[in-house]
Structure 1
Amino acid sequence: MEGFRIPPAMEFSGNMGQNWATWIQKFELYMLAAVDTNASEEKKVAIFLNLIGDAGLEIFNTLKLKISSTKLEDVKAAFKKYCEPKKNVVFDRFKFLSCTQKDGQSITSFITEIKTLVKNCEYTNEDEMVRDKIIMGMKDDNLREKLLQNESLSLKKTEEICNIMEISRQQASVITGNQPKPDYAVDAVTQKRLNKLSNRNSYNKSFIKCQRCGYKHDNRKCPAFGKTCSYCKKHNHFSACCLLKNSNDKNKKKKKPETSPVETISLCEEVDNLFIDTIHINQLKSKLSDCSNEEMLAENIMINNAIVCFKLDTGAECNVLPTKVYCTKICSLDGIAPANVNLMAFGRKMVQVRGLINQYWV
């Protein structure tokens, strides 16, 4: 018996039916390879009880069987009856039909799992059921489509196509030097909008300020990508970072340093969610034309030859004007454009937006 691998003791916990099927297969292989076929039944039973372990020996003692007068087949039948519970075909079929390929599971492993589950289902044609379940339960849509193109598809042909596809992917990954990636694997795509209220502490300080959007972000995640500049009408940058606009602004500063345009008051179309500081309506009503209120940091700014008092907020993502101030000092609301934005003040309080305007201030 030397030189042959001895089966380990059987585990009598968990799924005993499956444990028994696996252990008895190993035992029979060992008996076939290492034990003389002419050995007595008593010796075969003794080898069985020696290999099955202490727990199996205790179970044998409860079966009222004697080693000297019992055949090995009778012992195996008694243990099979003890380990295998009463079959429930409906439940076994439920497990078979609900089985699908798991994330990261190879198609070969999935086919083996399906073949194992179908054994207890008592189907008339197991091959057809396994073939159908492989096609329905796999995650690879491209492979499924290729299989469905075959009019007379057998289980053997299905396995051959699946194995060829899996091997070809592994070989291609070796050639390209990349890890194999199944067709069903989909990279997660997320879209993060700039919101200082929720993301103020989440920026990585190592990020470099982007020259296209003006913000700090991860590589290839610029919010300006695919957008159109409202100034030069070119793509992939915001108007605040427009080189043509900045160049024109510099020229205007040189000519008229005291009245040169500094910025365009515009609710940026590229951003849907904008953040501003608190707005005190009482303060705005009492100080519409000057900034003498010492309780807030403000500045008088001339718009269309009218002086308007603005509260200064370096953390705001847009500039806002009360409707009354706009109608009184600038013009009517007839020419404003519709706004598709959400304006949020400190404390997550939403502010109603009437529309968008574009005006130069000095």
Structure 2
Amino acid sequence: MNNALQPPPPFCFENDLANVMTGNISREWSRWKNRFLIYMKAIKLDKETADVQINVLLHIVGEKCQEIFEQFNEQFSSAERLLAKFDNYFSGKKNLTIERQKFFARSQVDCESIEQYINELSKLSLSCEFQNLSEDLVKDRLIYGIKDDGLRERLLREQDLTLTKTVEICKLAEMSRAQASFIKRDHLLREQVNIEENIHAVQRTNPATGSVCTCACGGNSSRAGSGRSARPTYGERVAPAGGLRDGGERAVTSSRRPARAAQWQRGTCNRCGTAHSKFDCPAYGKRCRNCNKLNHYAKMCRAGRVHAVQEDSSDRDSEAS
């Protein structure tokens, strides 16, 4: 006899009302017995004499079952007969109505695959004693317990439906649904990437010149290819709608800085002080030494001129005093 294999642990149970009513003792005993039978065949215990088989069983099963064995007060010819006696003892503590109610109330839960649900139904059916109806009842409970209403309607339309065919249809539907979800998610990710790339392309390039210019000479990417006139620069004020001159052009009136308006009319940029095309302002990206802001030179800085005017005004006031 091979003693290298570890035997199953002793069968421990609580013989209280909760375990009796729910049938837990019967299920636990059935599991322990199956483990012992596997161990018995693995070590070739079935080749030994009946006396050896019974004593090995009593040694492994534990103290509580040894006390039950003494209450039998019988002689057994093999370990199988003693196991059958224990079956009768523990099966009497199983409530068949509760076992079947658990089976018929079992539905598929969230994040549970079809295969997992079928395995759970099969395990519950073992303690229900359905006999020849077991396969048909598992099939019916599977159809009415799945979460997918569309799949249930499809199964109900099938003729001569068996458990094997039902399981196959459910698995194929589950795989198809998972693949469709993956394709949809991949398509949405691709669309999002394309949208972001288009946004970056619009922000970084100009349709006319391929560059972006933020100077006041008219370098606005949204207006470059539209054929619309450039926006008036600082110091200009556009006349109201309808206020047109004889030549059909919109009247532009001078504000408090007529010199700057004249510069714009001559084509001089109020950021760099030179004349250039719309999107070629050399002051773009340069930092002013007066106000420390970008996109204009110090000689064209508004803040510097305001400061100079204030200093000149204060000097004249001091001379007058």
TM-score (norm 2): 0.47
More helix by share: 2
